[in-house]
Amino acid sequence: EEARVLAERIGDLRGWQECTGVLGQAYAMAGDLVRAEAIYAHLDREARRTHNAQALQWALSGRATALLHRGELEQARALFLESVSIQGDDRSQEVVNGQLALVEWWQGEDAAALERARSTLELGEATPATGYHSYLGYVAAADIFLFAWERAMRRKEPRAEIARLATEADRATRLQERFSRIFPIGEPNALLYRGLVHAQSGHRRRAQRALRQAAEIAHERATPLDEARALYELGRWETRERTRRSRLDQAEKLYLDLGMRGWAARTQHARDEAPRRFF
C-alpha cells in the first residue's frame, strides 16, 4: 500500500498499476475477496484509460478470480473470456486463465472443463513458473482432474479412463510442488493436492498427514482460503464422526466469513453425507 501511494505521488503510473495488482492479490489471499475485487475494478478502469494491456490482464483475471471464489460464475466467466481474448502469447496469463475450467465445471460443461484443464496442464509443464499468480491455473487444473477422477471411480467407469485422470491429477500436483519450491505461498496447496491424490489412491495415513500439514501451514500464514479447503477435505475424508463434523464445521465457518456461499453449501452437504471411502 505504501509503495502504491509513493508511486502515485511521484507520477509513476506503471509502478502504481503494478503495486495495485499485487495489492489486490494480497487481499484475495488474505480472504478479503470484496476488497480485492474492488481494487481490481479500479485497476481495470485505469488500465483501460491508459491503454495498458498488461495491467488490464491483471485486472480482468484478478476480478474474475475473486468472483469465482464467491460463486458469481456468470460474471467470472465474462471477465475470464475477455482476458483470454487479449492474452496474446502471454503464456503465464494463459495459465492463470485456465481457471475458466472451474467455471465450466460448476456450470455442467464437463467436457469443456477437462479440455481446458488438459491444455493448462500441458502449458504449465512447458512453461517455467515465473509469476506468483501461476498457481491459480495449476490449482484449477488439479481440481478438475480430481473431481473427474473421483466421479469416474464412483461411476465405475473404464479403468483406462480412471488411470488417465489419476495420472493427470498427479501431474497437476507435481506442478504445484514445483511452484512451491520457488514461491512458498504455494506450499499449502501443494500439500493439499498431494493429500487428495493419496486419498483417492487409498493411502489414508499419507493423505491425512498431508492434509493436516496443509491446514496448519495455511493457518500459520493467514491464508484462509487454503485453510478452509484443507479443513473441508480433512472432514470429508475423516471416518471418525465427531472429528469429521468438527472439521467441516470449522471449514463452513471460514467459508461463510469469506463470503464463499457455494463452498459453504458444499461443506453442509458433505456433513450430511456418509464419510468418504478411501478407494
Domain holding 78, by residue range, is 1-86
Please tell me the predicted confidence (pLDDT) of residue 15: 74
Q: Per residue in 74-114, pLDDT tens?
A: 999 999 999 988 887 777 778 888 999 999 999 999 999 99
Residue 22, domain member (yes or no): yes
The vertex-22 CA angle with 18 and 26, nearest 5°, equals 165
DSSP state of 111: H
Q: What percent of the chain has pLDDT over 70?
A: 94
In a domain, 96, yes or no: no
Would you state the pLDDT for residue 48? 94
255 neighbors 267 (Cβ within 8 angstroms): yes
- Structural domains in the chain (count): 1
The pLDDT-based confidence of 248 (bands split at 50, 70, 90) is very high
| pLDDT(134) > 70 | yes
In our burial notation (b when 16+ CB lie closer than 10 A, e otherwise), range 209-237 reads: ebbebbbebbbebebbbbbbbbbbbbbbb
Q: Quickly state the pLDDT bin for 69 (edges 50, 70, 90).
A: very high
Residue 13 belongs to a domain: yes
Whether residue 101 is contained in a domain is answered as: no
Taking 70 as the threshold, does the pLDDT of residue 44 lie above it? yes
Query: Which stretch of DSSP H or E encloses residue 73?
Result: helix 73-86
Cell output for 189: 496447496
Residue 215, in any domain of the structure: no
Predicted confidence at residue 279, as pLDDT, reads 41
**Inside any domain, residue 11:** yes
In degrees and rounded to multiples of 5, residue 259 shows phi and psi of 75, 20
Residue 60, domain member (yes or no): yes
Could you tell me the pTM of the whole model? 0.92
**Which residue from 14, 65, 67 is spatially nearest to 43, judged by alpha carbons?**
14
Mean pLDDT of the chain: 91
Residue 257 belongs to a domain: no
Cell 512451491 belongs to: 180
CA 228 – CA 29 distance, rounded (Å): 12
- CATH code (residue 81): 1.25.40.10
